[in-house]
Amino acid sequence: NAGVMQNPRHLVRRRGQEARLRCSPMKGHSHVYWYRQLPEEGLKFMVYLQKENIIDESGMPKERFSAEFPKEGPSILRIQQVVRGDSAAYFCASSRYNRGLHDSPLHFGNGTRLTVT
């Protein structure tokens, strides 16, 4: 079974450009999470989505960042007008059940490393 797939693995953008990060969850998983990791730091929660719904976006910056998980296709994390401070590794994770975190872990992709020049 394929795990959580993220692409691209590496993304370089100039300041002011847009970055689009894609995440395909594990087969059968309908819950997607996005986390951001700065160098030598832990993962910071950004957003939790179910198909066509944003459940919790309490970790998303108020401006320039948006996320979606459409009925068909991968989840997309979009960063508009990127700045140098957006440089980080962005990880996607998925789970299967609505209350899966009671008993089940999250399954992570290998991340997208965004570099803003």
Which of 62, 71, 84, 99 contacts another protein by CB under 8 A?
99
Regarding 109 and contact with another protein (CB under 8 A), the answer is yes
Regarding 5 and contact with another protein (CB under 8 A), the answer is no
Element (H, E) at 11: strand 10-13
Cα(68)–Cα(52) distance, rounded to whole angstroms? 7
Regarding 12 and contact with another protein (CB under 8 A), the answer is no
Minimum CB separation of residue 83 from another protein in Å reads 22
Cβ(35)–Cβ(4) below 8 Å: no
Cα(71)–Cα(37) distance, rounded to whole angstroms? 27
Q: Tokens 């944003």 map to which residue? A: 54
Q: Under the rule (CB under 8 A), what is the footprint of another protein?
A: 4, 31, 33, 35, 40-45, 48, 50, 55-56, 91, 93, 98-99, 101-111
